[in-house]
Structure 1
Amino acid sequence: METGNQPQIDYWNGEVGQRWAEHRGALDAAFAPLTQALFAASGLAPGDRVLDIGCGAGETTLLAARQVAPSGRVTGADVSEPLLDAARAREAAEPVGAAIEWLKADVQSHAFEARFDHALSRFGVMFFDDSAAAFANIRANLVEGGRLRFLCWRAMAENPWVALPRAAVMPLLPDSEAPSPDAPGPFRFALRETLRPLLEGAGFRDIVFEPVNRTMRVGRTPEEAAGFVVTRGPIARLLRERDPAVQEAALRTVVDLFAKLSGGGPVELGAACWLVSARA
C-alpha cells in the first residue's frame, strides 16, 4: 500500500485501530444520530457505485450497500487492517445483497480501478497528510457530476463531548503542546474557510456546508463514556505516549467528570459537525 500518509497508517494499524475494532458497536451507537444525518442526505439509489472513505469497521459501507442493492456496488476503503478485518466479519454476519469490496488503501493516492457515482465519509477525511492531493484524487475518481458528501467536526468548543473531558485532563499534561491547525486530526476542518478552498482547488463545485447539531450518547455509563473519549477518541492522541500512571489518572478524572454530569447514568453531550456536499 502507498506510504505517503505513513504516520496515520501506523496510528490506525496500532493499538488505537485495534481498540476501535474491538469497541465498534459502542462507537457506531454513539455516532448513530450523526450517521443518520449523513444518510438522510446521501442521495444513493439502486445501481449506484459508491466509495466510502475511511470506512472503519464497516457500518457506513453496509448502510450504503443496502441503499444501492441489488445492482450497485460499494468500496469501503481504509488504511487500518484491524478495522477492515472487523468490517469483513460484519458483512459475513449481515449480508446486504450488494457487491462490497473491502480495500486497504490510502485514498489520498490510491488509483482505483473504476470510477464512482458517489463518495461519502463519516469523519474520515480529516486525517490525510496532504488534503489537497486527497480531494483531487477523490475528484478524479468520481464520474462527471458525481457527488461527494461527508461529515467533519466543527470546532472543539462546539463539541462538549470532547471539550469538557479534554479540559479536565489538561492539568495532568502541563507540557502538552497545542496541535497545529493544519495537522491531520479530528478538528482540522472546523472552519469552512479552511476546507472550501481545498474542495474548489480539487475541482468540486456546488459546495454546501450544513451544520448538524445532535445530542450524542457517549456511553451507557460514565465508565464506558470515559473509555471512549480517553482510549479511542481525540484525547487518546494526547495520552498515547504518556506514562501508564498518567493515562490511568486521566481515565479516573474523566469517569468522575462524567459521573457528575450524568448522575451515574448514560452520558449524553452535544456534538456539532458539518455535513459537506459538493459536485464533481
Structure 2
Amino acid sequence: MFLTLHCAIIKINYYNSGDDFMNTETEKLTQILKESNNIVFFGGAGVSTASKIPDFRSSNGLFSQKLNATFTPEQLVSHTFYMRYPEEFFQFYKDKLIYPNAKPNNAHIALAKLEQLGKLKAIVTQNIDGLHQMAGSKNVFELHGSVHRNHCTKCHAFYDAEFILKAKGVPICSKCGGRVKPDVVLYEEGLDEDVINGAIGAISKADTLIIGGTSLVVYPAAGLINYFNGKNLVLINKSTTSADNKANLVINDNIDKVLFKAIDDM
C-alpha cells in the first residue's frame, strides 16, 4: 500500500519577476540541499533533453510499407510489436532510442557532484540512456532498463549498444544464433522486481525527494514517488505535474540550468 505524502506546502510570496524570480527559487533549492542529508532524485525524459535526446513520444510514429500501417511510438516499443514485427521494432529502436554520441549535461553532472558531497543517496530514473553513470553517479536505479545492456534470449550472452547499432535487421547472437534483446522494459512488460524494491527503499528513507524532468504520467514508475514520507518534496519541470500541489517547492524551468546553479552555489 502506498504511503501518504506528509509535506507541508511552503507558501512563498514572490514580488520579483523573470530572472529574479528564478534566482529566488534556486536559492530556496540550495538551502534545502544544504539542510538535507538523504536526498533521492527521481527523473524522466526531461533530464536528458539538454543532451539532445528527445522523448520518444515526440516521434511521429512509423509508416511501414511492408505492413501497410502506421504505428504509434507506444505500439512500436511494446512487447507484442517486438515479437510480431522484429525488423520494424529494431528499425525504430535504433533510430529513436539509441543516441551513441550523447553526453551528460549539467543536470547529470550536478547530481553526480551532489552524490560526491554525500548528500544524494540514489537516483531513480525512467531513462534508458545511461548518462547518469557516464557522469559519475554510482547508485542508479534504472526502472526501464538500459540500451547499453543487451542479451541473447537463448544463451544469455551479453552485447553492448554498438553491437545492436551495427546489426543488419534483427540482431543475432554470434555464439548460438538466438535473437539479441535489449534490456529495456517494453510496454506490456513488468518492471524488474529488484530495481523496484531498491527504488522504493531509497525513496522511503529519503528526507528530500527531487522530482525532475518528468510529467509523472508513466505508471507504474510514477507511482513510486508515493512511498516518499520525508520532509522536502521538490518538483523541477517545464510544465505542471499531478504532484505540484504536494510539493514544498515547484520550479518550472530547464532542469539542467536549475540543478547546476543550485548545487554550484552550495
- Both structures adopt the same fold (TM-score exceeding 0.5): no
Q: Which has the higher helix share?
A: 1
TM-score (norm 2): 0.35
- Greater relative contact order (CA < 8 Å, ≥ 6 in sequence): 2
The TM-score, its normalising length taken from structure 1, stands at: 0.34
Larger radius of gyration: 2
